[in-house]
Structure 1
Amino acid sequence: MTAVDGPGRAASGAPRQAVFLGGTAWLLALAGLLLFAVAGPSALDDELFLLVDATVGLVYGATAGVVLWRRRHPVAYLLALTSIGGGLAALAGGWRTYAHTRALEAGPFGDWFGLAWVPGTLALFLVVPWLVRERPLGRAWWGPAVGAVLTAATLVSSVLLDVRVLMAAFGAAVLYGLVTAVGVELRRRRSPEAEAVGLGWLAVGTAVMALSFVPVMVPLAPSWVTPVLHLACQALFPAAVLSVVLRQRLWGIELAVSRALLAAVLTLGLAVVYAAVTAALGRLVPAAWIAQAAAAAAVVLLAQPLRHRFERQVHRMVYGVADDPWRTASRMGTALGRASDPDLLLSSLVETVGTALRLESVTLRSEQGQVLAAWGTPTGTALSVPLASSTGPVGTLVATARPGEALDTRTRRALEELASVVASGLVLTRTARDLEQSRRRLTTARLQERRVVRRELHDGLGPWLAGLRLGLAGVANTVDSDPAAARAMLHTLQEELDRRIEDVRTVARTLLPPVLEELGLEAALSELVTRQAAAGFEVRLRAEVGADLPAPLAAAAYGIASEAVLNAARHSGATGCDIEVTVGDDALRVRCRDDGVGVPATAAAGVGTRAMRERAEELGGSFTRGPADPHGTVVEAVLPLTPATEGVPVAPATAARS
C-alpha cells in the first residue's frame, strides 16, 4: 500500500533531510573504513569494533533515509542519530588505527571511538520500541522517558570513564531493554491483529540487542564476542523495526524499502560471515592476511545464496501476503473445506483478506448490495472487486486502505486473486443454504403428506370401516329373519365400499399421479377433470401449456390445481369450478374459480392452503386466495418459468382439507 496524507496527496516526507542524514552517515562510515584499509595491519585489535560501527552507520543510514524520504517520524530521527553515531565511531576508529600505524598523535578525536555510538545505539532498544506504534503513547509515555534517561546516564558515565559507574549504567540499560521487550510483547498480545503485525519480531530484536551488551560487563569474556554479537543482532533489529513501522503508518515505499532492507540484511549477513571467519582463522593461522583473504573468499562464495534467501524473507516481511497471495489463498481454501457454519465462513474469509493484506476494512456484499460479512470500519475511499462464478456475478468485495495509506498496484492485484477464493466461499455458502432449505421443504412436505394420509384414515376410511363392521353385524342378525332386508343392506354396503375405494385412489393419484410423469401437465389435468366428473363435480378446464415444462414446475402447478379443485368440491357448495392454466412470457399461471359460498374473511388458512402457498413461494412465485365477484372463491398462483430453486427437488402434491 502507498502512504498518503489525504485523498490524492502523498505522505509528508523530508527528502532533503533523508539525503543529508543518510548520506552523512554513509560518508562517515566509508571514510572510517578507508582510513582503516590505508592504515594496514594494526596491533590495536579494534577492527571488529570498527566493522560494527561502520555497519551501523551504513545500515541505519539507509534505513533512516528511506523512512524520512516519505515520513517525518521520531523513529526515523532516532535511526539517523544511531547511524551518524556509528559513522563517527567508525571514522574515529579508522583515524585511531591510521595514526597508530603512522606514529601520529590521534588527539581528542580518537575518543569518539568509545563515545559516539552510545546515544543512538542505546536508544535503539531503550526508546525506539516504545515509539513504534500507530496510536499515541497515552499512559505509556513513561517508557521512552525512562529509556532516554538511561541513555543519557550511560553517555555521561562513558564521558567520566568511571568503570564501576559505567558497568552499573550498562547493567541498568540491559535490564530496562528486557523490560522494553516484554512491553512490546504485551502490546502485541493486547492489540488488534492488524496493529500487532511485526511486534513479535520487534520484541525479539529488542531482547537480543539488550543481551548483546552482557559480555561488556563480563571481564573474562573474549574480546571478539561483543562485536560479533552486535553484528548478529544488527542483522535482526533493523528488519524488525522496518517490518512494524512500514506496515503500520510508514508505508508507501515498497520497492525502495525492499531493496534497502535487502541490502542492509545482506550487508550484515556478509559482515557476520567475514568477522566469524577472520576471528576463527586468526586463532589458527599466524599470518593475518591469510585469515582476511579466507574471510573475503567466504563472503564472495556466500553472497549469491544469501541474497536469494534474504530476498524471499524481506519480500515476505515488507509486502506480507501481497507478495505471495497464493499462500493465503491456500489457507482460505483449507478453511472452505472445513467450514461448518456458512455465516462464520464468510466472516472468516473477509477477516483473513483484511489482516493478510493489512487493510482497514473488507466488506462482502451480494448482487443487490446486501452486506453478507464485514471486517473493520471503513473510513476512506473504497475499492470494489466484482465476484463471479461459472453462472455469473455473485457479489462484490469492497476494501478500504488504512488511514494515511492508499491501495497500491501490488495490493490490488493480490486482492483480485484472493477475490476468487471469496467468490467460491460465497457460492459454497449459498449452495449450503439452498440445500438446507430444500431439506426443510422436503421434510415439511413429507410431514404434510403423512398428516393427509392420517386424516384420511382417521376421518374417512377408519370410521367407515367401523360402520362397515356394524353393517355386517346387522346383516348377520337379519339374514335368517329377513333375507330381503339383509340383501338390501349388503347392496348399500357394497356401494359405499366402491366410493371408499375411489377415495383411496383419489388420494393416491393426488399424492403422485403417474400420468403427470408419463404424459405431462395437460394430460394430468384432463384426468383430474374426468375423475371429478365421475364424482359429480364439474371442472371446466382451459389449459394452454407446452410439453417441455420443467418437472418441478409441472409438479407444483398440478399440486396447486388439484388442491384448489379438491377444496372447491368439498367446501364451496358449488356444482363445479373453472380451472385456467396458461403460460405467459415469463410465468405459468394457475387460476381456480368457483361460484360457491366463498371463504369467510376471518377463516384461517388450512393445511391445503398453506401447502399451495409454499409450493408457489419455493419456486420464487406468488399465491393469492380471495373472494370472487359476485360470490365464490378465486385461487391464483403465478410460477416463474425459471424457478428460483431450479434443480432442487420439489415435494409431491399434497391433498388436505383447507
Structure 2
Amino acid sequence: MVGLEVARQAGGSPRRPTAVWAAAGAWAGSLVTVTVGLVLGGGNPSPYLLVDSVQGLVYPAVGGLVAARRPRNPVGWLLVGIGAAHGLDVLTGALLLRGVPLAAWAENWLWFPGLGTLTAVLPFVVPDGRPPGRRWRPFLLLSAGTVGLATLVAMAQPTIQGRPGELLTNPVGVPGAAAAVGPAFVLYLTCSVVAVASFVRRWMTSDRDMRRALLPVLVAVVVVVLALVTVKAVQELGGGPAAGPLVQAVVLPLIPVSVAVSVLRHRLFDIELVLRRSVVYLVLAVLLGAVYAALIFVTTGLLRHRFPTVPVTVATVGVALGFAPLRTVVQRAVSRVLFGDRDDPYAVLSALGHRLAAARRPGGALDGVTELVCRTLRVPAASLVGRNGTVVAATGTLPPAALRLPIVIDGEEEGELLVAPRAPGETFGRRDRELLEDLARSAGPALRSDRLAAELRRSRERLVAAREEERRRLRRDLHDGLGPALAAITLQLDVAEAQLTRDIRAAGELLAEVRRSAAHVVADMRRVVSDLRPAELDDLGLPAALDRVAERISPGGPAVSVRCAPLPALSAAVEVAAYRIVQEAVTNAVRHSGARRVTVDVAARDGELTVCVQDDGTGLRPDAVPGVGTESMRERAAELGGAVDTRSRAAGGTQVAARLPLEPR
C-alpha cells in the first residue's frame, strides 16, 4: 500500500501493480532488516552502522518510487538492490556483534555489491536505463560482471574480519583467493572510471533537456565528494572529532534522491529549490570546512600541549557562530548567479528607471527594458509587444511557451511583456512573476509614449500628405475649372467688343452671357475658398457660425440648439476643428440616429476647448464600427493634441465629446 500511494502521488494510478507491490515489498523488507539490525546492535553500535541504516532505508524508498513509476527502467531496481545490500549489511553487522559465526562471513562482502553497483554500473544507465550509446554496452556488461566477480572474490577469502581486532577462518574460503583481490580491485576501479566517463559523455552530447535532467545528479555528486573530502581534511589537520560517519549519513542520501529527480522529471521536488540549496550548502560546506581546519591548525600549534581540547572547541564555536551570517551571504550570492536580481526588486526597478531616463531616442528606452529583464533575471529572451501586436523591442529569441504579462494603463491594455523561461518546461515562481509584473507596469508609460510618438509621426506624415493633396486639388480646380471659365469670358468679351460697332443688340446679349459666366466663376471661387476654411468663421466667428449650422438643419430635421459660453481668442486651427467636428456630429445625428433633438455645448476650461454634441436618438449599436466621419473627427482632434470620445448615453442617444487644447501641443 505504501508503494501504491507513493506512485499515485507521483503522477496518477500505476499501470503495473506487480511492479508497485514488488517495490513496496522490497522497501518493507529493508525496513524490517534495518530495524532488527538496529535493535540487535544497539548495545555496542559500530560507527558506520548509522550510515548503512540510513542508506538501507533511503535507497529502497526512492528506488521503489522510481520502479513503481518506471518499471521498465532498471535504475529504480538498481537503487532498491543497493538499499537491500546496505540493509543486510546492517543486520549482519549487528549479528556479528552478537557473536553469530556466519555473520562475520556475510559482513565481509555484503558492503561491496551496493558500492560497486553505485559507482561502476549506475552511471551507465542514468536517467533512461540505457547506456549513452551502443559502444558503451560492452563496458556496461563488463562492469556488471566485475562487480559480481569482485563480490565472489570477497566471499572466497581464506580469512575474514570478525569483531574489531579479530581474524577468523572463512568456512567457505578458497586457497589462493587472496591473490585475486588486487587484480579485481584494479578492474573495479577501471570500470568505475569508465562508468563516470559514460556519464560525462552523455552530458556533453545531450540536448538541453537531458542536461537539465542530469544536473541534479551532478550537483549531488559534487556535494558528496566535497563534503567527504572536507571532513577528511579536517580530521587529518586537527585531529577533530570523528564526524565522518555522521557526514556520510547526511550527504550520501542526496545521490538516490537526485537520481530519482533525474529519472522521473515530474517536478516531485522543486528543481529550482533543490538546485539553489545544493549549491548554497556546497559552497557553505567548503567555506566552513576551510574555517574549521584553519582554526584547528592555528589553535593546535599554540595550545595543543597545555589545553588539548581547546582547538576543537574553538573551531566548533567559530563555525557555529559563523554559520548563519555566512549562509545568508552565500545564499544571496548563489541566488544572484542563478536567478539574477530577483531577490532585490528595488535594485531592478531602480535600474529600469535610470535606463528609461537615459534614453536618447524614441524607442531606445524600450530596448533597454528587454535587455534589463534578460540581464537582471537571467532569462534568455524577452520582448515588448505593442497594442497592435507589433514587436517594439526584443532581446533574444522567444520560444512558443513564453510568459505573457499584459501592460495596462488607465484601464486600457497597452501591450504585453513576453519573457522566456530560464529553461524549457520551467515555470516562473511567485517572486519572479511579481517582479515581472512590476517591470511591466513600470514599462507601460514608456510603451505608451513610444506609441504616441509613432502616432504623432504618422499624423505629421498625413498632414504633409493632406497639404500636398489639397494643393493638388486647388491646382486642379483652378486649372480645370476657373482657368477655362476665365478664358471663355475673355473670348466672349472680345466678341462683344467686335459686335459693338456692328450689332449693339447682339453685343448686349453676349455681355449678359459674360455676366452669367462671371457669376458661376465667383460661385466656384467661393466654393474653393469655403473648402479651405469656412467663410462663416471669418465673417461671423465660431458661435454664430455654429448657429448657422443649426439653422440649416432645423427646418427639415431635428431641433438643433447651440449653447456657447464666452470664448477667448481662438486660433484658426482650433476654430476649424471645432466647426468641422460639430458639423460632422450633427450630420451623423440627423442621418443615423433618428433623433428629434440635438444639443451642442461649447466652452473653454482648463486650457481646452470642449465640444459636446448630444442627441436623443437610438444610440450606438454594440457592434458598430467607426465610419469615415467618426475617424475624421478623431483625426482632426488628434492633429491638435486633443481627443474625441463617442459613446451611447445612459439616458438614450449618442454623445460626441471633443477636447481641443487652446495652445498647440
Normalising to structure 1: TM-score of the pair? 0.49
Normalising to structure 2: TM-score of the pair? 0.49
